[in-house]
Structure 1
Amino acid sequence: MSFLSPLFLIAVSAIGLPLIIHLLNLRRPQRVEFSTLAFFKELQKTTIRKIRIKRYLLLLLRLLAIACLALVLARPFLPPGLSGSANSQAPALNAILIDNSISMSRIGDKGPLIEQAKSIVKSIEASSKEDDRFILQVTNGAAQYSTIVGHNQLLRRIEEIDVISSGNYTTDRIENLYGVLSEAPYQNKRLFILGDGQSSQFNGEFPETDDRSITTSYINLGEVNVQNTVVTNLESSTNMIGASLPVNLTVTVENKGEVPIANQFVSLEFSGSLVGQYSLSMEANSSRTFSFEVVPQKVGSSNGKVIIEGDEFTQDNEYFFTVQVPETRRILWVKEETPAIASLESYTGVVLEASGNNDAQLSYEESGVEILGTNEISGYDAIILDGIKTIPEFAFNNLLEFVQGGRGLVFYPSESGDIRNYNSFLRQFNVGEFEGIMGEYASFNSVAKGNEVQEDHPIFAGLFERDENEDLRIADPDVYYYYKLKPSSSPGGFNILTLNTGDPLIRDKRFGEGKLIISSIGNSPGWSNFAVKPLYAPLYYRALLYAASSDEGGFATHQLGETFSWSGDVDAENVSIRVDEETVIPDARVAAMGAQLTYPAEAWRPGWVTISDENREYSVAVNLERNESDFASRNIESILEDIAYVDASDLGDESLEAEIKASGFGREIWSWFMLAGLLFLVIESLLSVLYKAEKIT
């Protein structure tokens, strides 16, 4: 048994206090014979012996309790050979995991954290036996080493490690090292993890192993306070992206430091040009948002980035993005073969034809309801159900998966539709149900007006031009005949247009990753005079564009630390990914939209990658996980409560070496002495109360 803090053994001398008190009590006064004391001489000798035994027992228990508590302060530990079944003289396998994330570039009192980590690894190597072996690994970027090496090779590899701006794989690397250690034919197995206590590295929990022969230690280099300003969010005002259409981008900037900032700048570049710049002044731990307007000039990918200038920590001062303008959005128009009244044909075809003149054009195909039961619908961005009297039940699941997968569905009822069938279909999406029918078809007698517009809906973004305090005025459409929709109480739904009766005219319902747009009226003149109102054409077109646009809002992004996954219209046999100056071949499989690509992407860094085949080219922005910029060590000790934890920030070289030896090369047993000391005190209390030796017989 050894001690981590042997200086505290001086506290053992405290056991002398009860001894001194006891010896003082043994000093007897001079004996003087007195006649009246003769009666007391009749006390039995056995009673006196019992009193002395009780006093000696109490003294012994007090001495033991004080000694145990003194040993607790000295932090005793057992070497591995005594704390388990392993032979302490047998060779050991030491796995060492070094945090090489961007936070390790911070400079503390002892220099850069990454250099401190290297120095501690050298101390671990120096404390090891000649026959011990090592595995060296890093948390971020590609796995550097996977082989077992000796002392000299370990020291060479240590010098090659540096901070890298790549994805974090801490949890995966720990699990992999546990697996290697478990299978290794060594009696002594140790895992040392060196980091700066960044709690986000572990995602709230530390990996576990069932192999109890492995000793795990986390060595915390300490928290370094540094001012850091970082972009935490970038979003667009609309997901309807098109060439020459302005897009408003909202950038959120956060001050992660503990001090206010001033004289910093945030700027945005798009397609190689500076779009705008703002001055930054922020309080500690606060955030601000800034707006920029960009205009993609072409179909395809347009790259941009947000830049922070004047920040103390510069490793995360750029945030990359790509705006993707699709060539076309494919629309499937499903309709009845012939309308109930030939002269009242749907306007849908006219609107779809007109959309071909827009830069963000829609391409469409017509079909009957039979296509809804096939896999062909997965090749479309949105489906219009236009005047279908009865939606086939065999299509319910297909359409459900279609919307859940991020596509759009637009529903226009038939004037002679089966309301029970419609309600069965709507219940699949938790939209609500039609309670009945109001008015008379083709009567041209108004029963309601569409007079309330949800102006902040993405469909209307940038559509209306008016002064700030000017009320919105539109020509209200007259409705002659409509289905009375009672929306469900579930979240994710809101009215785009509302009738003056309070009933929805057009309702948007988010479901999964996609959208369902339900109209209470059909798209022919027998329902209303909406088609002759100025709002009709842009609303119809934008509703289709909205339904056919993905939730990403035109952004193509990848977060480092995850497997790269992308799907798009490329040739699966000829596709490649260009990363900086290197070209890699991803795993590709044929999908409905072209190809589904996956790639490990462990070595990728922030910037852009380019996906291409012989005919097409797409850009994808690559960024660090947002938590990489959060250096806080919140709850780190609770996350690591089941393993040995060493705080190296306030320890000298000798103390740190002793801590490392105890944590990785032995087992602390101070808790044993703590329990023993408390037990002795409890026994002492019980003995003093229950041991009655003064009774005279």
Structure 2
Amino acid sequence: MQFKHPDFLYALLALIIPILVHLFQLRKFKKVAFSNVQFLQSVTLQTRKSSKIKKWLTLLTRLLLLACVIIAFAQPYFSAKENSSKQTETAIYLDNSFSMQAKGQKGPLLQRAIQELLAAIDDDEQISIITNNESYRKVSKKDIQNDLLQLDYSANQLPYSAAYLKAKQLLSTDSKTNKRVIMISDFQQKEESLSIPTTTDTQTNLVQLQPVTHQNLSIDSLYVNYDTNNELQLHVELSSSDNAVDNVPVAVYNEEQLLAKTTVSIPEKAKNTVTFRLEENTKINGRVLIEDPTISFDNFRYFNINTPEKIKVIAINESDDKFLKSIYTPDEFTLISSLLQDVNYNNLQDANLIILNEVKQIPVSLIDVLQSFYKQGGTLCFIPATDGNIPSYQQLTSQLGVTGLTAKKTQEKQITTIAFSHPLYNGVFDNTVRNFQYPKVNSLYTTNASNTILAYEDKSPFLYTSGNFYAFTAAINTENSNFKNSPLIVPTLYNIGKQSLQLSDISYTIGQNNSYDVAIKLGQDGILSLVNEEENIIPQQHSFSTKVRITTNEIPTKAGIYSLQNKENIIQHISYNYDTSESDLQYYRLTTNDQYEVSDAVSSLFNQIKEDSRVNELWKWFIIFALLFLIIEILLLKYLK
């Protein structure tokens, strides 16, 4: 038996008072003389004996009465667990990720969990709740009810370990309270095993909600390319998380206009790709749809095909530039090629890429312009001349703050090493090429640069990079090298040009690091915004003289087609889609262990918690006993003679 107010038990010491009163009675008896006391002696003895019994019984009932009253004020009780008398703090992680859209036996997992949670929480109970995108500390049911009923799904799910630690931070450090963390989720399998950093001072309960099926269809990715007939094609990759399915309808829309529709079959736990032909030179704000009732967030993907922005390339030559004209074609680039003495310096700041094509000596005035261009985010590609002026080269690289050339060396070397993982060659090679005809040079310049893209047989750089600066260490004219005849020259210079202005892709994934350039000149206070019907946000942006670089990660939060706007002017459209990693409905198999207890429903867990913390209060019984002893005392005084 335990007591809510044990301090009242000190009042039991007061029971000694009636005992003293009964033991030390100070009243004196008065003697009365009788003529014949022989007969009265037995009556007197019998009366004194009866009186003594009556007094002891009265004393006992009074002691019991007072004791029951005192114990009733101390509020005794029996509890199911030893620590139930302590105050309990509860923090709940409610997973609102997209996989919680799956249907359980009583409806969507998230909606059912919210209903059971609200039904289980007492009106005056204080709890803390976190979701993947919200946090509520010590709130009541009334405070949180509307927010939970309107809770939307989140594209960014917290790792389970991070969710546990975040929930635990909402609990106090008071050692006098019982602490409990409850995690409500489907516990979709992300890694090989579930890792939750539980602690001994906190009770951990996991509620694993189970869907009725693991079957789900999803659109995994979209990409466009040109086929052998130079026709633009959209490729849609679909997957099935469980069983094979046939005749899945797939539709492509441009805004509200249906462009094409077909059906596709997907093998068991595999992928399939369906291809659609698109009209060239047509601006498309598109979306691809499939029909699948299990989970809806991955049944659609948005994409954009904008009018391509041409990349401006300026070549400053003291060597043949025909190879540049064949690479930087007018359909994607605007190439301005001129001799060194004919360069219009005023045009250089408007370029995205400047190529120094074997200029023997770089004028100081040009170096100053190139330094300003480079600091404003421009890309510079440097090709040295065979007999170039090394001090002028070093002055350029010194002012740019990059590694330069050190000395000329006349030696034939083969270019044998390719950095296949470098972003410059993303998508260029299907696999690592090891047997090809190596290009060579007859003379070169040495350098201490380390970020090598192409290297000689001794691992020294032929092409290296530092930020937006790309430098060759040898002239590539036909007298000094056969690099112009190598298949490497086209993807190398083409991708340098493409990366000088990172045009937007057809779509981006929310939650990933996305970066693209917008060819626009903004004023000092100019700001670009991403706008659609649900959101109006200002993304992270860096303004240069000829472009603005947009970077997004956690924002936007909603999938859709956004207009990139400068105030009210729409520049272009950008598509964002949800990450489809949650489309694979595979789950951990959890069982109760030393770290946590596992339940299959919110209601059953809270019923168990209430049963474990149930308190049987006894104070009412002690009040009843006190009244009973009071009645006994009255009866003793009245009827016991």
Superposition TM-score, scaled by structure 2 size: 0.58
Contact 1:382 1:548 (C-alpha < 8 Å) held by counterparts: yes
Select the residue among 160, 165, 168 that pairs with 2:157: 168
Q: CA deviation at 1:632?
A: 1.2
Q: Percent identity?
A: 18
1:377 deviates by 9.8
Please give the alpha-carbon distance, in whole angstroms, between the structure 1 residues aligned to 2:593 and 2:377.
Answer: 42
Name the counterpart of 1:252: 237
In structure 1, distance between residues paired with 2:192 and 2:349: 35
SS at structure 1 position matched to 2:561: strand
- Structure whose alpha-carbon radius of gyration is higher: 2
CA contact (8 A) 1:222 1:648 kept: yes
Instruction: For 1:460-609, list aligned pairs within 5 A.
Output: 522-523=476-477, 544-550=493-499, 554-555=504-505, 557-561=507-511, 568=518, 569=520, 571=522, 573-586=526-539, 590-591=543-544, 594-595=547-548, 604-609=557-562
Residues 1:107 and 2:129 are matched in the alignment? no
Structure 2 Cα separation of the partners of residues 324 and 659 of structure 1: 58
- Corresponding residue of 1:132: 125
**Match for residue 328 of structure 1 among 310, 328, 344:** 310
Deviation at 1:295, TM superposition (A): 4.9
Change beyond 3 A, Cα 1:113–1:154: same
- Residue 644 (structure 1) shift: 1.8
Counterpart in the other structure of 2:296 = 314
* Cα 1:645–1:277 shift into 2, 3 Å: farther
Q: Distance in 2 between matches of 1:510 and 1:642?
A: 55
1:629 and 2:576 equivalent?
A: no
Q: Does the alignment pair 1:97 with 2:89?
A: no
Q: Which aligned pairs between 1:78-97 and structure 2 lie closer than 5 A? A: 79=81, 82=83, 88-90=85-87, 92-97=88-93
Shift of 1:408: 6.8
* Corresponding residue of 1:55: none
Instruction: Return the alpha-carbon distance in structure 2 between the equivalents of residues 322 and 282 of structure 1.
Output: 26
Question: Of the candidates 169, 172, 178, which is equivalent to residue 168 of structure 2?
Answer: 178
CA pair 88-630 structure 1, distance change in 2 beyond 3 A:
farther
Q: What one-letter code is carried by the residue in structure 2 that aligns with 1:307?
A: L
Residue by residue over 1:613-672, the C-alpha shift from the partner in whole angstroms, topping out at 9 and shown as x without a partner, is 0455132211111212122114777xx9884241406x9x6577327977x99xxxxxxx
For the residues of structure 1 that align with 2:278 and 2:534, how far apart are their CA atoms?
Answer: 28
Q: Could you say if the C-alpha distance between residues 362 and 253 of structure 1 is closer, same or farther in structure 2, counting changes exceeding 3 Å?
A: same
**Shift in CA distance, 434/112, structure 1 to aligned 2, threshold 3 Å:** farther
Q: Quote how far apart the aligned CAs of 1:610 are.
A: 1.6
Aligned twin of 2:353: 382
Instruction: State the one-letter code of the partner of 2:583.
Output: S
Q: Counterpart amino acid of 1:89?
A: K
In structure 2, give the amino acid aligned to 1:264: V
**Distance apart, 1:146 and its partner CA:** 2.9
- Please report how far the alpha carbon of residue 124 of structure 1 lies from its aligned counterpart in structure 2 after TM superposition: 4.3
Letter in 2 for 1:414: A
- Judged with a 3 Å threshold, the aligned counterparts in structure 2 of structure 1 residues 406 and 264 are, in CA distance, closer, same or farther, namely farther
Letter in 1 for 2:206: Y
Q: CA deviation at 1:195?
A: 0.9
Residue 355 to residue 125, structure 1, CA distance change in 2 (3 Å): closer
**Equivalent pair of 1:166/1:602 in contact (CA under 8 Å):** no
Gaps of at least 5 residues in structure 2 are 2-78, 415-423, 429-436, 615-641
- Could you tell me how far 1:359 is from its partner in structure 2? 3.8
**2:149 corresponds to which letter in structure 1?**
E
What's the counterpart of residue 360 of structure 1? 332
Say whether the 8 Å CA contact 2:281–2:307 is kept in structure 1: no
SS in 2 for 1:222: coil
The 3 A distance-change label for structure 1 pair 548 and 562 is same
Distance 1:624 1:416, change over 3 A: same
CA RMSD of aligned residues (A): 6.1
Question: What is the deviation of 1:327?
Answer: 2.5
Task: Give the aligned partner of residue 347 of structure 1.
Answer: 321
- The Cα shift of 1:245 comes to 7.9
d(CA) in 2 for partners of 1:494, 1:616: 41
Offset, 1:552: 7.3
User: 2:238 is matched by which residue type in structure 1?
Assistant: V
Task: Work out whether residues 539 and 555 of structure 2, in 8 Å CA contact, stay in contact via their aligned partners in 1.
Answer: no
CA distance in 1 between partners of 2:217 and 2:469 (Å): 36
Aligned: 1:230 with 2:214: no
Equivalent-residue separation in structure 2 for 1:136 and 1:270 (angstroms): 41
Query: Distance between the aligned counterparts of 1:203 and 1:565, measured in 2?
Result: 32
Residue 492 of structure 1: how far off its partner (Å): 9.8
Alpha-carbon distance in 1 for matches of 2:594, 2:350: 51
| 8 A Cα contact 1:409 1:547, kept in partner | no
SS of the residue corresponding to residue 548 of structure 1 reads helix
Read off the aligned partner of 2:509 and give its amino acid letter.
Answer: Q
Superposed displacement of residue 578, structure 1: 0.9
Q: CA deviation at 1:133?
A: 0.2
Closer, same or farther in 2 for the Cα pair 1:646/1:544, shift >3 Å?
A: same
Residue equivalent to 2:180:
190
Aligned-pair CA distance for 1:308: 2.3
Q: Is the 8 A contact 2:541 2:550 kept in 1?
A: yes
Contact 2:462/2:474 (<8 A) preserved? no
Counterpart of 1:678 in structure 2 is: none
Corresponding position of 2:13: none
Write the deviation string for residues 444-465 of structure 1: whole angstroms up to 9, x where unpaired: xxxx9xxxxxxxxx99x99xxx
For the pair 1:610 / 2:563, whether they are aligned, the reply is: yes
Q: For the residues of structure 2 that align with 1:114 and 1:173, how far apart are their CA atoms?
A: 17
Matching residue within 600, 607, 614 for 1:657 = 607
Cα distance in 2 for residues equivalent to 1:181 and 1:378: 57
Gaps of 5+ in 1: 2-76, 239-243, 340-344, 440-447, 449-457, 463-475, 496-501, 666-697
Partner SS, residue 608 of structure 2: helix
CA–CA distance in 1 between the matches of 2:377 and 2:462?
14
CA distance in 1, matches of 2:287, 2:467: 26
Q: Is the 8 A contact 1:563 1:600 kept in 2?
A: yes
Q: What is aligned with 1:644?
A: 596
Is 1:289–2:260 an aligned residue pair? no
Distance 1:93 1:248 in 2: 58
Contact 1:480 1:526 in 2 (8 A): no
Q: Distance in 2 between matches of 1:96 and 1:360?
A: 54
